[in-house]
Amino acid sequence: MSKERILVVEDQPDISSLLKIYFTAQGYEVYTALRGQQALEICSKTPPNLALLDVNLPDMEGYDVGRALRASPRTRHIPIIFLTARGERRDRLIGLGEVQAQYYIVKPFDIEEVHTIVKNQLEEARRRNQLHPVTNLPTAELLNDQLRQLLVAPRWALINVHINGFETFTNVYGAVVGEDVLRFVALMLNEVVSELGGNEEFVGQQSVGQSFMITTLPERSHAICERIIARFDEEIGLHYNYRHRKQGYIEFVDDTGETRQAPLMSLSIGVLTQDDGPFADIRELSEVAEEVRQRALIQAREQGKRSFAIYGRS
């Protein structure tokens, strides 16, 4: 299981350092930001599992950081805890009401109390099965909620991404290395979406592990898919040993005991937009997206290509 990521947004270096040292010692991966814009840039590339926000920041109020997190499909599920010197009733109402933070703690704080609150919030998220245990991407009901929103949205694109050959790879290299591949893909997808997308994008992962979904706008879908394919095909070889990387395939023993060859991992991508609908429910939407993705896999094999994308159901 991956370490859970905590983002500390605090402009006082001594407090920021204290929180980072403490929570790192508790087994968390801790990111720090001294400014609000820096925090939003971190969230766009590697969304944390929880955010600890100060209100008084040099470039914007922490409330604005919280509002931006709530406005983005990729970060709206993140628990927010305010740690601030501003303890007036009006401030609390903004933090808990407008921003919908889970807690509002006034400085000076008891760090062990903060840890208990953080731990409880993260345990609650795990209990609801909201995040994938390896990549920390939204999954299960969070993914379904995003698909439901597509059914009523006027314009959208759904990108269904699947890692071909992943099971064979993990059988040869082991589950731990397989988890490294999942984390690589999750990070790469977030980076591509952050570079080419906006605030509307969502990146999630199906519970089975090797399938991912991105929601975006139709005019961005081609560029996003092309960049994903280019980066994956260029970088995936780093997860193989030199011999397999050079020969372009790996050997494995099948159930009959016979040695076979399998190509390096690739991606098959199916893309739907609102023009491919209407869809009755998210089950039909997911099934059609998978059908298009399967067509991409078949055409890639027929044309002798590696990663491949198909746009539209017909």
Residue 50 gets the label, from left (phi > 0), alpha (psi -120 to 50) or beta, of beta
* Mean pLDDT, the chain, whole residue set: 94
All CATH 3.40.50.2300 domain ranges of the chain, comma separated, are: 5-127
Binned at pLDDT 50, 70 and 90, residue 55 comes out as very high
Q: Name which of 13-27, 85-99, 243-257, 292-306 the model is least confident about.
A: 243-257
Binned at pLDDT 50, 70 and 90, residue 1 comes out as low
Sequence-ordered list of residues with C-beta below 8 angstroms from that of 5, at least 6 positions apart, any chain: 28, 29, 30, 31, 46, 47, 48, 49, 50, 136
- What would the two tokens of residue 78 be? 């993140």
Taking the CB of residue 192, how many other CB atoms lie within 10 A of it? 23
**Average pLDDT, stretch 53-62?**
96
All CATH 3.30.70.270 domain ranges of the chain, comma separated, are: 140-311
What are the backbone angles phi and psi of residue 217, rounded to the nearest 5°? Answer: -100, 150
The predicted model scores a pTM of: 0.87
- What is the percent of the chain with per-residue pLDDT over 70, rounded to a whole number? 99
CATH code 3.40.190.150 for 140-311: no
> Do 165 and 263 touch, CB atoms closer than 8 A?
yes
pLDDT at residue 191 tops 80:
yes
**Cα distance between residue 216 and residue 150, in whole Å:** 10
pLDDT at residue 57 tops 70:
yes
- What would the two tokens of residue 57 be? 């920041």
Describe the chain by its helix, strand, coil percentages, rounded to 5: 50, 20, 30
Which homologous superfamily does the CATH classification assign to the domain defined by 5-127? Response regulator (3.40.50.2300)
pLDDT at 81: 97
- What would the two tokens of residue 156 be? 């959208």
**Average pLDDT, stretch 66-85?**
94
Integer Rg of the chain from CA? 21
pLDDT digits (tens, 9 = 90+) for 278-302: 999 999 999 999 999 999 999 999 9
